[in-house]
A and B are shown apart, each in its own frame.
Chain A
Amino acid sequence: MSYRIAVDTGGTFTDVVVADEEGRLVFNKALTTLDRMFDGAREALRFIAADMGITFEHLMSNSSLFIYGTTRATNAIVEKKTAPTAFFTTEGHPDILRLKEGGKHEPFNFRMAYPEPYIPARLTFEIPGRIGSEGQEIRPLDESAVRSAVRAARDGQAEAIAVCLLWSIANSDHELRIREIILDEWPGVPVTLSHELNPTIREYRRASSAAIDASLKPLMQSHLGAIRTDLADAGFGGELVIVTSFGGALHVEEVFKRPIYTVGSGPSMAPVAADAYGSQEVDHGNFIVGDSGGTTFDVSLVEGRQIKKTRETWLGPQWTGDITGLSSVEVTSIGAGGGSIAWIDKGGLLRVGPHSSGSTPGPACYGRGGDKPTVTDAAAVLGYFNPDYFLGGRMTLDLESAQEAIRSQVAEPLGIELRPAAWAILAVANEAMVSAVREITINQGVDPRESIFVAGGGAGGLNAVMLAKELGCKQVLVPKTAGALSAAGAQFADIVAEVQATKYMTTALFDADASAKTLAKLDADLDKFAANLPPALSAQQSRDYSVEARYPNQVWDLPIPIAEGHLKTPDAVAILQETFHAAHERSFAVKEEGQDVEWDLWAARMTVPLSPPDLAAQREDQSGATLRAVNTRSAYFGATQDVNVPCYDGDSLGIGAIIEGPAIIEERTTTIVLPPGSRACVTPLRSLLIDLDEN
């Protein structure tokens, strides 16, 4: 018997999903234990073992894989609890992290404070020596200056060092020599070199990657070390892999070396889950994934079964936050969750967010002293929640407080009735979410009308159908595991390693030798990752290759796959060029016919499937059970009349059951609202597939 364990530790809850050999999934959750992460997971695992009729010890010693996802790194950055880190940079350019790439929202706002750099000036050290754009050494490295800088960094109580020199991507000699000197002066101090971590042009992005990575090393290395120890103590002898921000997992040793890979890894598993379920449930490859929690709404995208990636992930606001600079699953996050507060501005316009009531005091209906109207309150007033069965009966809702908050702060100022006011709150929140979805789809040439909306998260079922309708999506899918979408996704994660190389190339003067050499180097780098894998796994790997291409003189790139993995023939180069023209026209409405295409960045990705649970085997036959509503409630859907809607218990619905909207389906971790005109069907995997009214 062999089990697989997936754990997703968030700030509040630790979600655990266990798969048995047949691919059956069992899930549970426990409170996150910050001082010793495994304690929370152990508690949930004990419940799961009991559910499965085995002991915790048996489960651990018979598990072959432990997939661990954590928000530890992200939270450490947000809470500014990373290690004090020194920044070594080229002389003359000490303000790379302070000046960033410029940019600001709101031109007339002179009341915004200028952001702090990720590493302060007192721990920034300028190193004499200069490499030029063609890789030539313009001035030699001043080694004695490096030695003094290391000593000063140690005196300044730094615990790690990030090194980013100009043009280290063209010639890495100086960065490499600096590391030798650092380790000679201060053996054992964690060091990150920018060209090794993120060999991309644009010094700020490389420097920011290196700074974030180095600052996480002391914390994450001890954290992952503790997990490894606790697992061994619990009798686990399988493989430990860590969820990363690019939607896969990596062996713990790799993450040890580059902990930045875990930054933002939490939301990266939602599209993995969406793809796993979606590809089983519908004959379609495009999914818009909306994961809706208490304070944020995270959108990601699966296009043609490929998860959408980006190189522009900011921690904090765009431009004024800190960029990770690495390729990661593209997640657009907006402050529009269940806790977002509704208010009327001075011009008389209804606004929702960005302020949130958080978990304390929380929405007014939580009855914990909150008096601001929130999205959750609006849903309660609209009759979508069962006040006595909130969060699976763990909480009772204070409907009167919700009504009072909306009446006094929204309905009366707008001069409208209570339920229309609540409906308006939901509509405005929906619009912010629709904009977020459009940003990640339409702005990049993806048409939501060609996509299926996949809803996840505790608040995801409330407005999924309304969002999908506004976006023009074909259908909505609410997976059975919607409430623990990320942990479920981790069960389907592959090992994914991505490497990059920089070499300027153009279709006009194509250099086949240099191209072959660059691709060979990428393969050699991937071989190093593969060497850490058990041979059985390594044998199953697949690799794909791409370049980040542009027209001459452009500086922003479009990722273009290298068909067949090589660029050996004129045909292959011509295909790449044509693919680029088409991609450019699709994204930007114009193309420059006949123009050359150029690129510097080459990337290769290795994917190793970890024999995921067999979802297809979990299909159940139609049960033919009759539909029985547990009760009915008066609810409001924006028409002039309240309607009486039937409410169903999600667990009791039979396979193949069809529920016509308006209706409400109560699951243990989420509530799914079916407005009039929509129709849900219970799929063989017990998910809900919802059709929308054509009108």
Chain B
Amino acid sequence: MTITETPADEVRNDFDPVLLAVLANRLDGIVREMTNTLLRTGRSAILNTARDFSCSIVTADNELLSAAEGLPIHVIGSQLLTRSMERHHPVINEGDAFLHNDPYDGNTHHADHSILVPVFFDGEHLFTAVAKAHQADCGNSRPTTYAGYAKDIYDEGAINYPCVKIQSNYDDVQDIIRMSKRRIRVPEQWYGDYLASLGAARIGERRLKEVVAKYGVDTIKTFITEWFNYSERLMIEQIRQWPAATLTATTNHDPIPQLDQEIPLNVTVTIDPKEARVLVDLRDNIDCVPAGYNMSEATALASGMTGIFNQLTESIPYNEGSFRRVTVALRQNSIAGIPAHPSSASVATTNVADRVINMTQAAFAGLGEGYGIAEGAIGQGPGMGVISGHDNRRGNSEYINQLYLASSGGPASPTTDGWGFFGIPVTAGIMYRDSVEIDERKYPVLIDECRMLPDSEGAGKFRGAPAGRVTYGPTDTPMNVIYVADGSVYPPQGVRGGLPGHAQTVEKLGIDGSVESLQSAGNVILQPGERIVNITNGGGGYGDPKSRDPEKVRLDVEDGLVSLERAKFVYGLDIEINSSGRAALKSD
């Protein structure tokens, strides 16, 4: 599978450059308005607080046009969704909306419900507005949206919506709504989140029609061509600055319980500056496994692409135009490729995807100083786990939601320390952090601790960001915590002499004070008084820690991120702290 290849259009059309900028900003503004709508109206915390959703605009020719601020893992494959809509619904009408979550046919994973609204002008289908949102529950056989346990789609248990019509003439298709409400936990929450996504897509529809009405269909069509060409030109410029090379990299996802062994992963990146093309080849990977960790086509494509885009030194719009210069080669029935039904792709958006991004971006360090990025924090431990149970404060009502609390370490780059509230490579700092108070109000959870962990950074000339530590448990009713961590056995690596970040750990604290170490993927019932403790990964470092600017080390010590001992032994600096809490380099 490759992305459509179109020859580069090096010849500049005489489309008004001013209008080009105007319309590009206008479309980004529409996507931002869609995003704002979904955030403010979503019901589950994973949407309305953490923002685990993305909006985008795809052309009627199935090319991604605008995805301002969307999560790359969500939006890079949006065109696969609209292709599927075209295939299954030869006749579409104004007022239709489609619900799509089929990972075998272009969606990311079952938990991401995508709402597709075809946008018409004078009867012509011009765009599709897409709102993709991670649900708090998707009807899996166990209360989690990440079914690492699933040996196949049947074991996974999610409802599959193979691009089904959910609105006709702007009215809900009640059959689909009823079916969903029967099979999804906390149905009112699901319905509210569906409305939020629908509202976002409908807002996109309204605004797109206004833009077309104002500028005319022909101008808009020419704009689309020119905007793609512009984005492609920027990408060509960037790739021409890179040396010709073939880079290979490997990594391992931590052992998973279903396989009892690690998942080995490989990538080969070929850079051809002369032709201004990059090939990310993921075909040399193992077949799909009998567990939920297989990638979907959309996430494999997005991860390979993200590994390349993370190298950019200037901002380039991510759309069909810039994508033309990068080919991601995938294989059928591969864990990092196109999943073969009934293999489960329940965890397709995170674990293996994060590994693919990490190894691809780190591979570039092989080009020499100033290239590549270290590996970032990986895996979703309990600090990003799915909690469920019953809430005594609201008549013992059922609850389920993914937390997004834990701080974790972003990777160091050739110029900058890692980002502090990073999440994982597929979210890359874009998602928001839960409020402790909002989580405690909405769910019967007590969060005892949520902090950055000292001495957990991958040291380097530029260091990774520190790991986080989160401790929480139920207030007065048993709580089920399901999570799919990684990075315990194989923590994020540094590059060019940078050190790895802290390993991920999970522990359960008993009421009697006992400490039990838990495996990295788990399904745990916590009784009132019990606690789960999750230390996330620190990000990997870039370059030799001994070459780090001493002033930066001094500040890290003063900020409580690096201890005096670590400053001495890892960074080679003698530092002292005075009575007012100031750190200073010792003079000798």
Q: Is A93 a contact partner of B450 (Cβ separation < 8 A)?
A: yes
CB of A521 within 8 A of chain B? no
Q: Is B450 a contact partner of A110 (Cβ separation < 8 A)?
A: no
Say which residue of A122, A133, A203 sits within 8 Å of B558 (CB atoms): A122
Closest to B41 in A: A588
Q: Tell me which of A346-354, A361-369, A400-408 binds B.
A: A346-354
Given A110-B413, A121-B558, A347-B233, the answer on whether A589 and B420 have CB atoms closer than 8 Å is: no
Q: Is B373 a contact partner of A201 (Cβ separation < 8 A)?
A: no
Q: Is A427 a contact partner of B230 (Cβ separation < 8 A)?
A: no
Q: Which residues of chain A from 93 to 109 have a CB within 8 Å of any chain B CB?
A: 93-95, 98-109
Say which residue of A108, A203, A588 sits within 8 Å of B306 (CB atoms): A108
Say which residue of A92, A123, A319, A587 sits within 8 Å of B581 (CB atoms): A123
Given A349-B20, A428-B18, the answer on whether A122 and B407 have CB atoms closer than 8 Å is: no
Q: Which residues of chain B from 18 to 76 have a CB within 8 Å of any chain A CB?
A: 18, 20-22, 25-26, 29, 32-33, 36-37, 39-45, 48-51, 69, 71-72
> CA A506 – CA B380 in complex, angstroms?
35
Say which residue of B22, B415, B430, B560 sits within 8 Å of A104 (CB atoms): B430
CB of B435 within 8 A of chain A? yes
Interface readout for A570-602 with B: 1 if CB under 8 Å, 0 if not? 000000000000001001111010000000000
Interface readout for A8-23 with B: 1 if CB under 8 Å, 0 if not? 0000000000000000
Given A111-B416, A346-B314, the answer on whether A590 and B199 have CB atoms closer than 8 Å is: yes
Q: Which residues of chain A from 314 to 369 have a CB within 8 Å of any chain B CB?
A: 319, 345-351
Residues of A with C-beta under 8 A to B452: 95, 98-99
> CA A554 – CA B207 in complex, angstroms?
25
Q: Is A156 a contact partner of B580 (Cβ separation < 8 A)?
A: yes
Q: Is A589 a contact partner of B21 (Cβ separation < 8 A)?
A: no
Q: Is A556 a contact partner of B230 (Cβ separation < 8 A)?
A: no
Q: Is A203 a contact partner of B435 (Cβ separation < 8 A)?
A: yes
Q: Is A553 a contact partner of B446 (Cβ separation < 8 A)?
A: no
Q: Tell me which of B143-151, B177-185, B436-444 binds A.
A: B436-444
CB of A432 within 8 A of chain B? yes
Give the shortest distance, in Å, between B228 (CB) and chain A (any CB): 11
Number of contact residues on A: which range applies? 35 or more
Residues of B with C-beta under 8 A to A93: 436, 449-451
Closest to B315 in A: A106
> CA A428 – CA B16 in complex, angstroms?
12
Q: Is A92 a contact partner of B448 (Cβ separation < 8 A)?
A: yes
Interface readout for A413-443 with B: 1 if CB under 8 Å, 0 if not? 0100000000010011001100100110011
Given A347-B231, A348-B230, the answer on whether A203 and B41 have CB atoms closer than 8 Å is: no
> CA A360 – CA B46 in complex, angstroms?
47
Q: Is A114 a contact partner of B417 (Cβ separation < 8 A)?
A: yes
Q: Is A590 a contact partner of B202 (Cβ separation < 8 A)?
A: yes
> CA A310 – CA B581 in complex, angstroms?
38
Q: Is A101 a contact partner of B432 (Cβ separation < 8 A)?
A: yes
Residues of B with C-beta under 8 A to A101: 432-433, 435
> CA A132 – CA B393 in complex, angstroms?
13
Closest to B12 in A: A348
Q: Is B438 a contact partner of A201 (Cβ separation < 8 A)?
A: yes
CB of A639 within 8 A of chain B? no
Residues of B with C-beta under 8 A to A414: 17
CB of A617 within 8 A of chain B? no
CB of A1 within 8 A of chain B? no
> CA A626 – CA B204 in complex, angstroms?
51
CB of A79 within 8 A of chain B? no
Q: Is A431 a contact partner of B25 (Cβ separation < 8 A)?
A: yes
Q: Is B435 a contact partner of A107 (Cβ separation < 8 A)?
A: no
Which of B71, B429, B559 has most chain A Cβ within 10 Å? B429
Interface readout for B332-367 with A: 1 if CB under 8 Å, 0 if not? 000000000000000000000000000000000000
Q: Is A555 a contact partner of B49 (Cβ separation < 8 A)?
A: yes
Residues of B with C-beta under 8 A to A554: 40-43, 48, 192
CB of A648 within 8 A of chain B? no
Say which residue of A102, A428, A432 sits within 8 Å of B429 (CB atoms): A102
CB of A146 within 8 A of chain B? no
Give the shortest distance, in Å, between A452 (CB) and chain B (any CB): 21
Q: Is B433 a contact partner of A156 (Cβ separation < 8 A)?
A: no
> CA A105 – CA B68 in complex, angstroms?
9
> CA A132 – CA B195 in complex, angstroms?
32
Interface readout for B298-339 with A: 1 if CB under 8 Å, 0 if not? 000000001001101111001000000000000000000000
Given A111-B313, A432-B25, A435-B25, the answer on whether A588 and B429 have CB atoms closer than 8 Å is: no
Given A103-B431, A347-B231, A555-B438, the answer on whether A155 and B580 have CB atoms closer than 8 Å is: yes
Say which residue of B69, B416, B435 sits within 8 Å of A202 (CB atoms): B435
Q: Is B17 a contact partner of A349 (Cβ separation < 8 A)?
A: yes
CB of A204 within 8 A of chain B? yes
Residues of A with C-beta under 8 A to B223: none
Closest to B231 in A: A347
CB of A167 within 8 A of chain B? yes
Give the shortest distance, in Å, between A58 (CB) and chain B (any CB): 52
CB of A632 within 8 A of chain B? no
Interface readout for A544-565 with B: 1 if CB under 8 Å, 0 if not? 0000000111111000000000
Q: Is B437 a contact partner of A133 (Cβ separation < 8 A)?
A: yes
Q: Is B43 a contact partner of A553 (Cβ separation < 8 A)?
A: yes
Say which residue of A133, A443, A551 sits within 8 Å of B440 (CB atoms): A133
Q: Is B421 a contact partner of A99 (Cβ separation < 8 A)?
A: yes
CB of B568 within 8 A of chain A? no
CB of A134 within 8 A of chain B? yes
Say which residue of A155, A350, A588, A592 sits within 8 Å of B203 (CB atoms): A588
Q: Is B18 a contact partner of A427 (Cβ separation < 8 A)?
A: yes
Give the shortest distance, in Å, between A168 (CB) and chain B (any CB): 10
Residues of B with C-beta under 8 A to A439: 29, 32
Give the shortest distance, in Å, between B48 (CB) and chain A (any CB): 5
Q: Is A107 a contact partner of B40 (Cβ separation < 8 A)?
A: no
Q: Is B37 a contact partner of A104 (Cβ separation < 8 A)?
A: no
Interface readout for B193-236 with A: 1 if CB under 8 Å, 0 if not? 00110110011001100000000000000000000001101100
Residues of A with C-beta under 8 A to B18: 350, 424, 427-428, 431
Give the shortest distance, in Å, between B236 (CB) and chain A (any CB): 9
Given A133-B437, A428-B18, the answer on whether A347 and B581 have CB atoms closer than 8 Å is: no
Interface readout for B403-431 with A: 1 if CB under 8 Å, 0 if not? 00001001101011111110100001111
Closest to A103 in B: B432
Give the shortest distance, in Å, between A421 (CB) and chain B (any CB): 10
Residues of A with C-beta under 8 A to B32: 439, 443
> CA A347 – CA B319 in complex, angstroms?
14
CB of A618 within 8 A of chain B? no
Given A554-B42, A589-B206, the answer on whether A156 and B581 have CB atoms closer than 8 Å is: yes
CB of B9 within 8 A of chain A? no
Q: Is A155 a contact partner of B22 (Cβ separation < 8 A)?
A: no
CB of B251 within 8 A of chain A? no
Residues of A with C-beta under 8 A to B71: 107
Given A99-B407, A443-B32, A552-B43, 11 new contacts (CB under 8 A) = A93-B449, A103-B430, A104-B428, A111-B413, A350-B17, A431-B22, A443-B36, A555-B49, A555-B438, A588-B203, A589-B199
**Which B residues are within 8 Å of any A CB, using their own CB?**
12, 17-18, 20-22, 25-26, 29, 32-33, 36-37, 39-45, 48-51, 69, 71-72, 188-189, 192, 195-196, 198-199, 202-203, 206-207, 230-231, 233-234, 237, 306, 309-310, 312-315, 318, 373, 393, 407, 410-411, 413, 415-421, 423, 428-433, 435-438, 440-442, 446-452, 465, 471, 475, 558-561, 579-582
The 8 closest A-B pairs by CB, nearest first: A102-B433, A122-B581, A92-B449, A590-B199, A553-B43, A110-B413, A104-B429, A347-B234
**Which A residues are within 8 Å of any B CB, using their own CB?**
92-95, 98-114, 120-123, 130, 132-134, 138, 152, 155-157, 166-167, 201-204, 319, 345-351, 414, 424, 427-428, 431-432, 435, 438-439, 442-443, 551-556, 584, 587-590, 592
**Interface CB pairs A-B, < 8 A, 20:** A92-B471, A103-B51, A108-B428, A112-B419, A113-B417, A114-B420, A132-B440, A155-B581, A156-B580, A167-B440, A347-B231, A349-B21, A427-B18, A431-B18, A443-B36, A552-B43, A553-B192, A554-B42, A588-B40, A589-B37
